[in-house]
Structure 1
Amino acid sequence: MNLSLLKETFANFVRAHGMEHHFRRLAILDMFRATPAAKELPPSLAQALIDASDTPPGTLLARLGSRPEGLTEAEAEAIRDKVGLNEVEHEKPLPWWIHLWNCYRNPFNLLLTVLAIISYLTEDMKATTVIGSMVMLSTILRFVQESRSNKAADKLKEMVSNTATVLRRDVPAEMHGEARRYPDMGLTNGGRRIELPIKQLVPGDIVLLSAGDMIPADVRILAAKDLFVSQAAMTGESMPVEKFATDQKEKTSNPLEVDNLCFMGTNVVSGSATAVVVSTGNHTYFGALAARVTATSREATAFQAGVNKVSWVLIRFMLVMTPIVLLLNGVTKGDWLEAFLFALSIAVGLTPEMLPVIVTSTLAKGAVILSRQKVIVKRLDAIQNFGAMDVLCTDKTGTLTQDKIFLTRHTDVFGEESDSVLEYAYLNSYYQTGLKNLLDVAVLEHAEVHRELEVATAFRKVDEIPFDFTRRRMSVVVAEHDEHHLLICKGAVEEILAVCTRVQHGDAVEPLTSDLLSRIRTVTADLNEEGLRVVAVAAKELPPAKETYGLADESDLTLVGYIAFLDPPKESTAPALKALKEHGVAVKILTGDNELVTAKICREVGLPVADMLLGSQIERMSDEELAGKVEAANVFAKLSPAHKERIVRVLHDNGHVVGFMGDGINDAAALRAADIGISVDSAVDIAKEAADIILLEKSLMVLEEGVVEGRKTFANMLKYIKMTASSNFGNVFSVLVASAFLPFLPMLPMQLLVQNLMYDISQIAIPFDHVDQEFLQKPQRWNPDDLGRFMVFFGPISSVFDILTFALMWFVFGANSPEHQTLFQSGWFVEGLLSQTLIVHMIRTRKIPFIQSRAAWPLLGMTAIIMAVGILLPMSATADYFKFQALPLAYFPWLALILLSYVGLTQAMKGWYSRRYGWQ
């Protein structure tokens, strides 16, 4: 088994169905290596699948309580009540008590709990109460925020959830689903097609499969036509596997080797099928794998790794500084119990217990705002990558263009109008059952051809050779009045020419000479330069000697002409490209289309073609050569899916945060390789499954709005981390100075805890804050290594004014003995709380706060309330309880002077720091 592929598929499937909780994704590779038995299917499940494969279809349907026309809704509901939803273990939401426990058990809360227990054992009930309140506040806030964000995420995911086409016997006609996409294989017998969320499927459901569909459960094929399924993650086979209604191989005990079984999590590459659901949820092959890795460790994303790194920097800082504070106060004051309680309070003050709450709240708020802008976030921490993205790779069709294709020309090989070419193309598009794209839709809009050819009576489909992205062509074989067989092939010009030996000109057929080949290429190039996408059409007549055809039959064809399509550029594309450029996002076009058409469209939307690389050139390059070329080139044409994935991977290795936007089967590999995969709600299932973000509207303008919101979300998280780090560093520095020189504690443990609790409350509104426009102009990277430097530069500034406050209380107000320590402590409490709260407004912006950049009203209101409470607390009726005393009125002018000086020095430091190191 290819474990790396299995890991990738499982992780992506988990993401697609909401099985992740915020910053986590499943990492099953290590578990599989540690427990080789996990690779094997449980014998009972394997035998059940083999039995389903061997059982005749009628008998199997009867055993499952089903029929060819499907279950009724009542029958499906009864089975669902018995077997549950079609969800594997990790998809199921956590019970509320486990969720509450997970919200509690972060390093900060566990540390605070230990400190609360120590306070309780030392009979310091006030400290116990305050610390307990801080733990409860942090846990409950996070629980409420995550519950709300989970509910919001569930609603959002319902908007883009993958569905399956199911037959129901008792569904009104007005509810039935798309019919033409799935051919009637003689098994539906009147059952109506409906679209159901995958989790609603039950054993016995009859499902219809077509190219691009995810296999929604473990199924037995009842009828198939050229069905090719990608199950590389399960078996390691790199190429799609053809599936049949009957097993074509020798008997085996391994269900993965059986031809008429398909498995949850794989996907249809081409063709179509009717199948019956055999097993769902944890009883599927995929579910069995999930059940075996329930205890697996979880791999942190780059974002979560950064948050964890910051957390442990602060915790280590606390573990070093707390013993120093204890020793200093114990030695200088002689009261070791009091010194111990004070050191505990310092430990609490250094613990950023609100960090998980702020991060969760900010991400959840960002996801909800993005949803209003038609951007659905499937994975919350993808928002950070959205804001950090500096390269966007996107397809041309539907992104730069309107995604509404018109058939504008149908010509013979020399460019002359030809109705027979349109007729050949119509028959090909009408009878194919594989992946119908917009080109087929445009051809089939010519319904007059259907009538003129009398398709329903004159032709019968014999066989089909499905499209694939290597050949870039597909063929159908039809019988005309059962007199002869006609193979009609359409596809990319070069790929069709590769299998042609003749050309048709009027009624004459000529050999394909080098002169004719040169003339053909001139004609198609002229069409391409008009911005038309050219598809070649070829054919050959065959005797009606066989009913099954293969790739070998695509040879010795006659080129009959071309059909040319126009996909006009969107009016919104040019301003969107300009906006993305202004926000520091380089756009690169990755398309399978012709280079001439691509260049024409790029010119029309105002995207200068700096350099263009073709798939054939990329094929000949090493990764080292490609790494240099991808930086200069901004247009890549005639690409295969493997080329797209390779370009994305090389850009990532070059240090870029790469977004990839795609909606087709050929985009799935690149979507997985990108830092942030972006798809659209109308995409095929496999593309939506691989994406991190879904757009409800395929537009670069919508994407640009999402990038901006991602940067706002990241900016607000960074604000809190900067504030907390610098404030904590400054507080410890001040405490060390005070502990060394004062004959009493600069603040009682209880007072420190109250100050810290009030400061934490003032931070709750940060997720709702505004972000300066210049912060949104360029991608923002998570760089925890810069935090240490920021702490060193900005932390001591508050200490300078803390020490000035010490001097003020000592020399001006005579609070210079243990008998007057209450006045001293009250004075530092007010100054410390106000300076901490002011730092929120100072560090939230590079500009002058309140004048050039004003915080959002929730943050302004919250900080104003906390500052008012801090000033009034020493004068209130509860002052004695907290061992405060009222401050003299003469104190407040001094306080205002200290705070204004603090603001001025911090602003000056901001200017110097941002000029030297930048302001992230």
Structure 2
Amino acid sequence: MNLLHAWFDTFLRSRRAGNLFGRRAMPEAGVGRAAAAPPAFSTALVGLAQAPLEQALATLASHADGLGEPEAAERLARLGPNEVDHEKPLPWWRHLWQCYRNPFNLLLTVLAVVSWLTEDAKATVVIGTMVLLSTLIRFIQEGRSNRAAERLKALVGNTARVLRRASGTEAAELADQYFGAHLHSRQPARQQELSIRELVPGDHIVLSAGDMIPADCRVLTAKDLFVAQAAMTGESLPVEKFADGDATQAALLEQPNLLFMGTNVVSGTAIALVLATGNRTYFGTIAQRSSATKATPTAFQTGINSVSWLLIRFALVMVPFVLLINGLTKGNWSEAFLFALSVAVGLTPEMLPMIVTSTLAKGAVQLSRRKVIVKRLDAIQNFGAMDVLCTDKTGTLTQDRIALERHTDVFGHDSQDVLKFAYLNSHFQTGLTNLLDRAVLEHVELQSELRLAQDYRKVDEVPFDFQRRRMSVVVSECEDHHELICKGAVEEMLAVCSTVRENGRDMPLDAQRLARVRQATEELNEEGLRVVAVAMKETAASQAVYSQADEHGLTLVGYVAFLDPPKESAAQALQALAAHGVEVKVFTGDNELVTARVCAQVGLQADTILTGPQIERMDDAAIAQALARHRVFTRLTPLHKERLVRALRAQGKVVGFLGDGINDAPALRAADIGISVDSAVDIAKEAADIILLEKNLMVLEEGVLQGRRTFSNMLKYIRMTASSNFGNVFSVLVASAFLPFLPMLPLQLLVQNLLYDISQIAIPFDNVDEELVRKPLQWNPADLGRFMLFFGPISSIFDLSCFALMWYVFDARTPADQGLFQSGWFVVGLLTQTLIVHMIRTPKVPFLQSLAAPPLLLMTGLIMAIGVLLPMSPLAGYFKLQALPPGYWPFLVAILFGYAVLTTLLKKLYIRRFGWQ
């Protein structure tokens, strides 16, 4: 067995399941080289890169025309799917551990252990129940959401074009076709579109611009192949790859004929031999070695963490005060310690992980019903926080169904010759597939021209890239000469043309004719047509290989003009986004005239337009000012789009980017939330956080609103818990200083907290007021602290009223009567805590102007009923509670009514002064 196969088998035996690799664990572009792969792996891969092709094929037990179906199936069963471990769900036991392992559950566990050591079995049971419920609810909710997410993500699988082996004579013909013709032929008879999970070592794959490299591969044939591999090597510019290796180069990443999983094709075409898949790739091995590297927290995670630690710090300050006051006034330090720990539990929002997960999962399910797939749950909150949406024009503001409207000569007159040349170019090109080529090939006038391609033989191809913005094919109709046919953006085409075809004659492209050419193209643009120039030249039949250097001295023969009408939903969607505080900016590679026409049709103001060449001359400060003044940016390269997105983020904006092409991938990665579509190129889908199964911009509005509803419901829980718990602790401090007994036993405090937490399980399913989703929402820990200090003491006012009621009206003044006192405050505390759910869930008047969702009404009503009945139930003695006298209940109603009225009044004051997010 060769070295590489031995490494594969060893790796498979030693692989670890679980989430081993975070998306951000690899070095960022330009930062530096990735970590080194194990020496045995590097040596084996370099050996395959430098070995003769026949030897490499033999090593992998492959063939010149790829693998047969039975061979591929056997390898897939033996080696497993082509995916790294991070794509697999955690084992249930590790998921359960992660659900348990948070600061709040750990604090509860400490309290349970202390209770058990002090032989307080009741407290141990209650605290253990709280830990169990918190962990299991989160485990069940996350499990359901993870399974749903996996099912949804399965709908958006990336694919690869694979050459699977034929048999007999057909196999020999295909081998000669691919390795002899060097991709000059048309599409292969045995080419298949397969999920990248189904690739195995020994497969042959076809690559073109926009494709992700799905595995570690050796290049077999290449034509102007440039690959972006910054994630692996830190090189900021694309690297050209060739079919030949370099025997003098020992470094793995320097091999000119090796392609690595996770990189992508920028331009050109190739056929490659798959050397390694899944965990056995360079990407997979580095993932193993980088598993300890922590991912960079997102803005959402940072916000959650800041809120959590705010509450924890508050507990660390308040709990020692409770301990000292009760220890000094009661003299029982062990009981004071247990009570202080119970207060600490009351201050910790132990249901926060479950609430967060449930609200995000519910948001993902809601969006999935609108054919929106959420690849990363945190992205839902970013949707709600987004205040700037940057979008490409083609296919997003406009429809996918581009139609060929005109084919004219250089001065705007209809021309069949131009249509013929455009047809030949689109028919024979094998690089980046786009809607323009499809429109040419599907044009109704060309049905009779289908025999045209049979009269020509393809000689070579110069693939498209986003710097040249053109592509060429070379064909031969007669063996005495070749014809280089080039099409592309008008300005870039004029740069390589020296003559124009006028009335069948080639005339110099002088200033007068150049002015007429520009006038003709501008007139087409002003009609809303996208113009592609077509040029050609004849070359000697002796030339066999062509490159970008041959694109000069061309003759401009005319233009093909396409109509890309705006989407019917675009204008309505833009208005809806603007109404919800989301500014829309257009970033496109198209020219100013076409873009201005489309923007006018969809109601997007485009009085002043900034172009890519202008951006090139600007520094960062000038770009920041330009972004404030302009909404439409045209003639942009991929790096221009990325630079603009980063500039917006530097201004503190939460930026979304919607795009579907290879030229959008850098901007998708740079944005806070990348949005793409199912029909996008692989690299765009990989870079995106959200995938739209339909290009309907109205779905974006729904996504924004759903994100804000999700955020609002999370914020409700945090506000309720923080303010209510602060009020309880303040009341405890006051009562502990003056009462000769504890205001509530530790067990009672724990039960009260448990019931209160259960009442909030339905918060993720609550309604959200329309006013709360009109503007972008972001984390603001300072506002939460202010909210807690403002509303927390309100409950303390009524807690003190309850203390006075029990002390003066019902004479619960001695340790012998403490059960009555504690029962009275237990009921008031639980009911006011539960009532605050409805008071704080909305800035409006609860129950009258804003009603909670039925699940929340049912849950809070049930918990309030339990709180009222528990002191009178058979379980009262177990919790050391006792029945309350009949005269207590009118006072309870008065306390609750007064609490609701005062909270409503002060809420209006708070909103006038600080607002309500």
TM-score normalised by the chain length of structure 1: 0.93
Q: Does 1:700 align with 2:700?
A: no
Counterpart in 1 of 2:876?
879
Counterpart in 1 of 2:244?
246
Q: Does 1:901 align with 2:898?
A: yes
Matched-pair contact (CA < 8 Å) for 2:269–2:463: no
**Residue deviations 1:211-255, cap 9 Å, x none?**
2111111112233333332223323333333333333x4532123
Q: What one-letter code is carried by the residue in structure 2 that aligns with 1:406?
A: A
Distance 2:829 2:731 in 1: 10
Q: Which moves more between the two structures, 616-625 or 237-246?
A: 237-246
Q: Does 1:194 align with 2:192?
A: yes
Q: What one-letter code is carried by the residue in structure 1 that aligns with 2:81?
A: L
Q: Which moves more between the two structures, 850-859 or 312-321?
A: 312-321
Counterpart in 2 of 1:558?
555
Distance 1:181 1:687 in 2: 28
C-alpha spacing 1:416/1:190, structure 2 compared with 1 (3 Å): closer
Q: Which moves more between the two structures, 796-805 or 67-76?
A: 67-76
Counterpart in 2 of 1:10?
none
Q: Does 1:373 align with 2:370?
A: yes
Task: Say what the alpha-carbon RMSD is for the aligned residues.
Answer: 2.4
Distance 1:868 1:457 in 2: 83
Q: Does 1:95 align with 2:95?
A: no
Matched-pair contact (CA < 8 Å) for 2:759–2:856: yes
Q: Does 1:255 align with 2:252?
A: yes
Counterpart in 2 of 1:301?
298
Counterpart in 1 of 2:171?
none
Distance 1:170 1:806 in 2: 88
Q: Does 1:277 align with 2:274?
A: yes
Counterpart in 2 of 1:854?
851
Q: What one-letter code is carried by the residue in structure 2 that aligns with 1:765?
A: A
Distance 2:121 2:50 in 1: 72
Which one of 212, 215, 220 corresponds to residue 213 of structure 2? 215
Q: Does 1:587 align with 2:584?
A: yes
Which one of 799, 809, 813 corresponds to residue 812 of structure 1? 809
Instruction: Give 1:93 shift.
Output: 2.3
Matched-pair contact (CA < 8 Å) for 1:68–1:188: no
Instruction: Give 1:836 shift.
Output: 0.3
Counterpart in 1 of 2:128?
132
Q: Does 1:235 align with 2:233?
A: yes
Instruction: Give 1:495 shift.
Output: 0.9
Distance 2:115 2:640 in 1: 62
Which one of 608, 611, 619 corresponds to residue 622 of structure 1? 619
Q: Does 1:825 align with 2:811?
A: no
Which one of 639, 643, 647 corresponds to residue 646 of structure 1? 643
**Residue deviations 1:808-844, cap 9 Å, x none?**
1111111122221111111100000000001111111
Q: Which moves more between the two structures, 669-678 or 512-521?
A: 512-521
Counterpart in 1 of 2:79?
83
Distance 1:121 1:358 in 2: 32
Instruction: Give 1:291 shift.
Output: 1.3
Counterpart in 1 of 2:150?
154
Q: What one-letter code is carried by the residue in structure 1 that aligns with 2:310?
A: V
Distance 1:235 1:617 in 2: 31
Q: Does 1:121 align with 2:117?
A: yes
C-alpha spacing 1:18/1:127, structure 2 compared with 1 (3 Å): closer
Instruction: Give 1:28 shift.
Output: 4.7
Q: What one-letter code is carried by the residue in structure 2 that aligns with 1:203?
A: P
Instruction: Give 1:286 shift.
Output: 0.9
Counterpart in 1 of 2:398?
401
Which one of 773, 778, 785 corresponds to residue 776 of structure 1? 773
Distance 2:576 2:836 in 1: 33
C-alpha spacing 1:577/1:229, structure 2 compared with 1 (3 Å): same
Q: Secondary structure in 2 aligned to 1:224? A: strand
**Residue deviations 1:893-919, cap 9 Å, x none?**
111111111111111111111111110
C-alpha spacing 1:578/1:20, structure 2 compared with 1 (3 Å): farther
Q: What one-letter code is carried by the residue in structure 1 that aligns with 2:135?
A: T
Matched-pair contact (CA < 8 Å) for 2:657–2:671: yes
**Residue deviations 1:858-900, cap 9 Å, x none?**
1111111100001000000111111111111211111111111
C-alpha spacing 1:145/1:453, structure 2 compared with 1 (3 Å): closer
Instruction: Give 1:764 shift.
Output: 0.7
Counterpart in 1 of 2:662?
665
Counterpart in 1 of 2:289?
292
Instruction: Give 1:42 shift.
Output: 2.0
Instruction: Give 1:275 shift.
Output: 2.2
Counterpart in 1 of 2:14?
none
Alignment of 1:167-178 (within 5 A): 167-168=163-164
Q: Secondary structure in 2 aligned to 1:337? A: helix
Matched-pair contact (CA < 8 Å) for 1:69–1:191: no
Q: Secondary structure in 1 aligned to 2:418? A: helix
**Residue deviations 1:537-573, cap 9 Å, x none?**
1111112231111222111111111111101111111
Instruction: Count matched residues.
Output: 890
Counterpart in 2 of 1:725?
722
TM-score normalised by the chain length of structure 2: 0.94
Q: What one-letter code is carried by the residue in structure 1 that aligns with 2:509?
A: L
Q: Does 1:538 align with 2:538?
A: no
**Residue deviations 1:426-450, cap 9 Å, x none?**
1111111111211111111137547
Q: What one-letter code is carried by the residue in structure 1 that aligns with 2:231?
A: A
Counterpart in 2 of 1:40?
36
Alignment of 1:736-815 (within 5 A): 736-815=733-812
Matched-pair contact (CA < 8 Å) for 1:181–1:210: no
Q: Does 1:433 align with 2:430?
A: yes
Q: Secondary structure in 2 aligned to 1:538? A: strand
Q: Does 1:61 align with 2:51?
A: no
Q: Note the residue ranges of structure 1 that are not aligned, 5 or more in a row.
A: 1-16, 172-179
Q: Does 1:163 align with 2:134?
A: no
Q: What one-letter code is carried by the residue in structure 1 that aligns with 2:630?
A: A
Which one of 499, 503, 512 corresponds to residue 500 of structure 2? 503
C-alpha spacing 1:44/1:502, structure 2 compared with 1 (3 Å): same
Q: Secondary structure in 2 aligned to 1:906? A: helix
Distance 2:752 2:442 in 1: 72
Distance 2:585 2:640 in 1: 14
**Residue deviations 1:126-164, cap 9 Å, x none?**
111111111111111111111111111111110112122
Q: What one-letter code is carried by the residue in structure 2 that aligns with 1:825?
A: Q
C-alpha spacing 1:753/1:90, structure 2 compared with 1 (3 Å): same
Counterpart in 2 of 1:12?
none
Q: Secondary structure in 1 aligned to 2:244? A: coil
Instruction: Give 1:454 shift.
Output: 4.4
Q: Secondary structure in 1 aligned to 2:296? A: strand
C-alpha spacing 1:189/1:829, structure 2 compared with 1 (3 Å): closer
Q: Secondary structure in 1 aligned to 2:393? A: coil
Identity over the aligned pairs, expressed in percent?
66
Distance 1:892 1:50 in 2: 83
Which one of 446, 456, 471 corresponds to residue 459 of structure 1? 456
Q: What one-letter code is carried by the residue in structure 1 that aligns with 2:195?
A: P
C-alpha spacing 1:26/1:599, structure 2 compared with 1 (3 Å): closer
Matched-pair contact (CA < 8 Å) for 2:20–2:85: no
Distance 2:586 2:880 in 1: 67
Counterpart in 1 of 2:916?
919
Q: Secondary structure in 1 aligned to 2:843? A: coil
Alignment of 1:567-606 (within 5 A): 567-606=564-603
Q: Which moves more between the two structures, 186-195 or 696-705?
A: 186-195
Distance 1:427 1:294 in 2: 51
Q: Secondary structure in 2 aligned to 1:298? A: coil
Instruction: Give 1:192 shift.
Output: 3.5
Distance 1:196 1:868 in 2: 58
Distance 2:717 2:299 in 1: 19
Q: Note the residue ranges of structure 2 that are not aligned, 5 or more in a row.
A: 1-16, 168-176
